[in-house]
Amino acid sequence: MKENPSESLRPGVHRRIFGHLRDGRAVEAVTLVNAAGTKACVIAFGATLQAMIVADREGRLADVTLGHASLEEYLASTAYFGSSVGRVANRIAGGRFLIDGEGYRVPANNGPNALHGGPGGFDKALWDIAEVGDAPCPFVRLAHTSPDGDQGFPGTLQVTAEYALGDDGALAITYQATTDKPTLVNMTNHAYWNLAGEGAATGALDHVLTIPAGHFLPTDAAAIPTGDFAPVAGTPFDFREPHVIGARVRDTGHDQIRIGHGYDHNWVIARERADAPRLLARLAHPPSGRVLEVRSTEPGVQFYSGNFLDGSLIGKGGQAYRMGDGVALEPQMFPDTPNRPEFGSIRLAPGEEYCHRIVFAFRADG
């Protein structure tokens, strides 16, 4: 079921069956194609970005996001390749939190902590394909109902995820949600990127990264933020100027690199959400000329350098994914916000609407 970068599809929306769940339900794949031949494939399981095919400076197409070729592999995987994660992205310490003074608990699935909504989060749900269209650009809108008590979270949550591919090469993702009880929401997309092409022998540690943030969030040994807003100046976490990722990813002279086995931290772009997507990160691969700009309405971005990819997962091209073969840049509110009032709030109340807009904008520099 791998998307073929060289396959010619007319601009628009293309639907097919990607596989079937064990109970027989079909899982569709929707491929969006723009006028330049850029393609984004989204599967309904986990509202997942399964493939992103973009051109280099010579016009050669390659799939630049990590993922699996079959539904069976997605069912077995806990890597979140391209998944829509929620209700709450990243970690909640101890899987415990309060809402309006009442205690709740989410099952721990990352040591003692809850990660990405728990073991049965949105990445493991079969979403409905609510709408597809090609005006003003190819898009697919998926919908999911998370019932009251799902993974321990209160309130019935109605969620949508829309992917839209512009002729400018930008893939826009919009997450929206409403609830009938006060609850928590902090969604993101968990794509891993390798602008050389997924499975490329060089991996992604030769990519050049820029993050326009003066502070990051240090963590304890369980990857929970300590509560400090640490300056990046003079540390391996300073990406205000472009740096090759691999140059400092093993700098164990810094305790946070040792704790994370590389980069797995949240950078502080701002302290509050924005009305329109702003630049969170820029990733470049000079040999191909491909550049990815990540923009979002959220104030933080989790940069993960693929530290725990250990060769046990097989990619779409049949290659084993190893450490650093892909990197994730996940826009979001800060980790463990429910237990850190100084971080802000991810509380959603009845009558309110959660909306997170992400833009993955691609280009090829000469």
Catalytic residues: 190, 330
Dihedral-angle region of residue 184 (phi above 0 means left; psi in -120 to 50 means alpha; beta otherwise): beta
Amino acid (1-letter code) at residue 323: M
Q: How far is CA 164 from the centre of its chain?
A: 16
C-beta separation of 199 from 319 below 8 A: yes
List, as one string, the DSSP characters of 309-348: -EEEEE-TTSPEEETTS-EEEEEESPTTGGG-GGG---EE
Angle at 298 between CA 308 and CA 178, to 5 degrees: 100
- Using CA atoms, how far residue 178 sits from 149, 187, 241, 354, 355, in Å, is 15, 13, 39, 6, 9
Which two tokens mark 60? 């050669």
